[in-house]
Amino acid sequence: MKLWGGRFSKNEDEFMEEFNSSISFDIRLFEEDIEGSVGQAYALKKAGILDKDELDKTINALNELYEQYKAGEIKSYDGYEDVHSLIESLLYEKIGDTAYKLHTGRSRNDQVATDMVMYVKKEALNISNLLLNLLDTLIGNAKKYNDIILPGYTHLQRAQPILLSHYLMAYFEMFKRDYIRFKDMLNRIDIMPLGSGALAGSTFPLDRDYEADILGFKCISLNSIDAVSNRDFCLECIFNCTMTMMHMSRISEELILWSTKEFNFIEIDEAYSTGSSMMPQKKNPDSLELARGKTGRVYGDLISLLTVIKGLPLAYNKDMQEDKESTFDAVDTVKICIAMLKRVISSIKVNSGSMLAACKTGYLNATDMADYLTERGIPFRKAHEAVGNIIRYCEEKGETLEDLSLDELKKFSDVFTDDVYGAIDIKNSINKKLTTGSTSQEMVEKTMSIEEEWLKIEKSLM
Ligand code: ARG
């Protein structure tokens, strides 16, 4: 049955009915809609609209419906306009006319807004948990690989040697920010729209604070017009998803590169790769490619909802029904990608030999040689130039910096002594980077222990 048939003399066109319906996707709000209705029933009892008996009947029936839904017993909902109409009809089948009292002082506008905030709150927490798991994996691997050296890159050109742990902890920082962003959003969006009616509020004396308490909201909205037309919380959630996807896309891209024969730094576990239907030798990193590719659709979700909302006059407009698929899709996608990335990272095999070998060509210790000269009184700019000349010389001879004899080096600067070879040793290069946040083993260990402590506290709060 329709929730709004009274003023119409003509039936809705079938095509229009189909076009207008959101049940195929908002059925996912079943749990939230039941929960919101439970809160509404209590508020109606307090306002004197439902008596004790009606309240009990309503709550029991709503709980039963929820159980039936969970058990997969509510199967055919075609023909219903949306989840709200469906639940009201099912409730009517159970308790008759009392079911029709539930909509007193409530519109689907505040109802759906409330459902959506509840959904976003629940999923933001789920995503935060998944991110904590990913952070756990990253720091676990970082600790495991704290003595593996590889080239760090700028412009995708070999730049300076770094520890693999340091690299992994860079992604730790990104996903930590993502985690904090989701948690932080939870503080901001925890506002209950229910009680705002269609847009102007409610005639009935609903105790909204009481209702918010029951539904686990921190506070209630203070403007009914904004409350029913606000989808900022969906947008914020999708934005947080895009940021997380972007980070996942970056690490995916890097791991894909590293797994090529050209780099040969890592091997991606066969369990997360696929073969080619034509080329028998292929092992493709599809898991990571998909995580990278799916980033596009989540960006799309954000742009799509931003565009839906941007021209809307206050208050509710049916355009807002389009909030759901974008929000659901962004949430679903980010969740499976985090879970997949965690699996791939946990199972990666590291070729430390290739990583170290890659540090030997490309003059990764050139900056260390310039620093060496600077420590001995040469202004850095001059030292930079001298080492530049040395590199040109090396390139002509096809040699590395450490291949050069002291006599050859002295031609470029007379401050060179025997200790230069220690200064440009790759391990020493790393371990001399001692400022906070640097790549030396000592510093990375310090960072990891700070982050591990942070992670422990966050996990205990979950
Ligand atoms: N299915 C609708 C949505 O998702 C519910 C709200 C309908 N409100 C209305 N005034 N027609 O937005």
Average pLDDT over residues 17-32: 96
Ligand 1 pocket check for 320: Cβ under 6 Å:
yes
Say whether pLDDT at 442 is over 70. Answer: yes
* Residue located nearest, by CA, to atom 10 of ligand 1: 109
pLDDT value at position 197?
A: 97
* pLDDT computed for residue 1 by the predictor: 63
- Cα 82 to middle of ligand 1, angstroms: 8
Residues 358-368 have a mean pLDDT of 93
Atom of ligand 1 nearest to the CA of 22: 1
- DSSP letter at 1 equals -
Quick check: pTM over 0.85? yes
Band (pLDDT 50/70/90 cuts) for residue 283 is: confident
Rg (CA), the chain: 30
Q: Is 187 exposed, middle or buried (0-12, 13-18, 19+ CB in 10 A)?
A: exposed
159 contacts 151 by C-beta, under 8 angstroms: yes
Domains and CATH numbers, the chain: 14-101 (1.10.275.10), 108-201+225-357 (1.20.200.10), 362-461 (1.10.40.30)
Residues with catalytic function: 155, 276
The bridge status of strand 149-154 relative to strand 157-163 is antiparallel
| DSSP-assigned letters across all residues of 121-180 | HHHHHHHHHHHHHHHHHHHHHHHHTTT-EEEEEETTEEEEEEEHHHHHHHHHHHHHHHHH
Question: What is the per-residue pLDDT for 281?
Answer: 83
Interatomic CA distance for residues 243 and 57, integer angstroms: 45
Q: How many whole angstroms from 232 Cα to the centroid of ligand 1?
A: 17
